[in-house]
Structure 1
Amino acid sequence: GVTGMISCAGSIEESRKATETAKKYDEVWAAVGVHPEAIQDSGFRIYDSRDFLLKLSRHPKVVAIGEAGLDFYENTSEEEKRRQIELFKFNIALAKETGLPLVVHCRKAFEEVYEILNEYDEAPKAVQMHCFTGSSDWAEKFLKLGCYLSFGGIITFKNAEDIRRSLRMTPDDRLLLETDSPYLAPEPLRGSRNEPKNVKIVIEAAADLRGQSIEEIDRITTLNTQRLFPKIWK
């Protein structure tokens, strides 16, 4: 069964709530940061939250910076892209300053995310590509940067063969699995509210696709979680 989970924030308020929840429950940890969709709030000021997020990051139950990244999904204007990139670099700088791993959201922006992580001088030392949906070509590029690739319930979707290829090519020491709850419930639960317990379905699917046992997938993903999020085990 599920013995622990990371509550990943997407805004300043969610960062506060995730940290409070992690303080309350032994089996919950938090990631704090600002999701790219935050720039849609006209009142949001990127750098106003820096001191607050740094303070949260020092708590023992805060184990990562995120969810951060780029989301160019629908009709994203050039100005919105510019602000998202500025926000992404802000989150990267937080990860670098705190020494925490960075949880990266990437939708329709693989080239831009890759270029920033590859060229940006302040790139963090540990990166999780959250809910990875890239092709095997993009998987290879991010793996060469040393990123961990994390796959969710999408690997069970009928039209996700490209993502399944990426899953199969990911080496054992860079593989992570997740649910992205409450979104993207795996088949046969697609369309319902996702829950952490459904990671069992993702593990079973990954084991089948990679030709490994459920026990082996469980072992290697637990080991990778220990490597990527060392604060959990302190």
Structure 2
Amino acid sequence: MIRNIHTHIPAKDAIRSFSFGEIHEAIHYDAPFSVGIHPWETNTMNCSVAEACLQLEQLLYRKNCFAVGECGLDKLRGASLKEQIEILSLQLALAEKTGKPVIIHCVKAFNELISLKKEWINVAMVVHGFRSKMQVAQMIIKQGIKLSFGTYLLSSPSIQEIYSILPDTETFLETDEQEPAEINKLIQFAAKLKNVSLEAFEKKIVQNTHTFFDVKL
């Protein structure tokens, strides 16, 4: 059962994210995981992007690998935006080839992300750790990109408002750098925002997660 779509800490009920720099650790990981070239790594890799993608592809065929990522675009860190777009495009091609969804890291580059989504219409995407504005959320959802919310949801009234009105089918929950056990607090809080029972909400979260990531455990 997976309820937490993005964590950097080992957890059996979550999808653990490995960056390319952690790929050798990912090879030996036997629980659900994702792997990708993080935008912060785009100017520090010790091999070519083509070689990195070959290594990623091998892992993406593993039964316990459920997504590409996190990968994406960040205007504040990493290589130039042009290079980041090229590297992300190669990973989107891998996602399409292997049938995996993509967990996206996006900072100040939502317009560029939407342009890429229009090119890769068949690739399922979810922006992790969403904390932008309502207008941005609606724009992203309209393009078929889903949103994941982390512990910022617990303290931000504006993010709470966004989350409360979005359809359950368009959203996920995650703990990112926080302890994976925090997912319990997030689920309880989110159920109250949605004004539904904890049992019903948790069942829906698991169902949506397993459907999107094609989880068969």
Does the alignment reach a TM-score above 0.5?
A: yes
Partner of 1:14: 22
Query: Post-superposition shift, 1:5?
Result: 1.4
CA distance in 2, matches of 1:166, 1:219: 21
Query: Post-superposition shift, 1:44?
Result: 4.7
Partner of 2:134: 136
Residue identity in the other structure for 2:16: S
Partner of 2:91: 91
Where 2:73 maps in the other structure, the secondary structure is: strand
Where 1:233 maps in the other structure, the secondary structure is: coil
- Structure 2 unmatched ranges of 5 or more: 4-10
Partner of 2:202: 218
Q: Deviations over 1:99-157 (max 9, x none)?
A: 1111111122222212221x21x344321221112221121122222222111101112
Could you tell me whether the CA contact under 8 Å between 1:135 and 1:165 is conserved in 2? no
| TM-score w.r.t. length of structure 1 | 0.81
Residue identity in the other structure for 1:138: V
Partner of 2:161: 165
Could you tell me whether the CA contact under 8 Å between 2:164 and 2:194 is conserved in 1? yes
Structure 1 residues 125 and 150, CA gap change in structure 2 (3 angstroms): same
CA distance in 2, matches of 1:3, 1:217: 20
Where 2:42 maps in the other structure, the secondary structure is: helix
Greater RCO structure (CA 8 Å; 6+ sep)? 2
Q: Deviations over 1:2-27 (max 9, x none)?
A: 8611111222x323313412x2xxxx
The sequence identity of aligned pairs, in percent, is 28
Deviation larger for 98-107 or 166-175: 166-175
Partner of 1:114: 114
Partner of 1:145: 143
Structure 1 residues 134 and 114, CA gap change in structure 2 (3 angstroms): farther
Structure 1 residues 73 and 161, CA gap change in structure 2 (3 angstroms): farther
Could you tell me whether the CA contact under 8 Å between 1:72 and 1:109 is conserved in 2? yes
Partner of 2:53: 50
Q: How many pairs are equivalent?
A: 208
Residue identity in the other structure for 2:109: A
Where 1:146 maps in the other structure, the secondary structure is: coil
CA distance in 2, matches of 1:149, 1:66: 14
Query: Post-superposition shift, 1:212?
Result: 2.2
Q: Deviations over 1:192-215 (max 9, x none)?
A: xx2111101111221222222222
Partner of 1:102: 102
CA distance in 1, matches of 2:170, 2:85: 26
Partner of 1:200: 184
Q: Deviations over 1:180-203 (max 9, x none)?
A: 1xx2xxxxxxxxxx2111101111
Structure 1 residues 124 and 195, CA gap change in structure 2 (3 angstroms): farther
**2:14 matched to 1:5?**
yes
2:175 pairs with 159, 173, 179, which one? 179
Where 2:28 maps in the other structure, the secondary structure is: helix
Structure 1 residues 17 and 204, CA gap change in structure 2 (3 angstroms): same
- Structure 1 unmatched ranges of 5 or more: 184-193
Could you tell me whether the CA contact under 8 Å between 2:66 and 2:101 is conserved in 1? yes
Residue identity in the other structure for 1:233: K
CA distance in 2, matches of 1:140, 1:55: 35
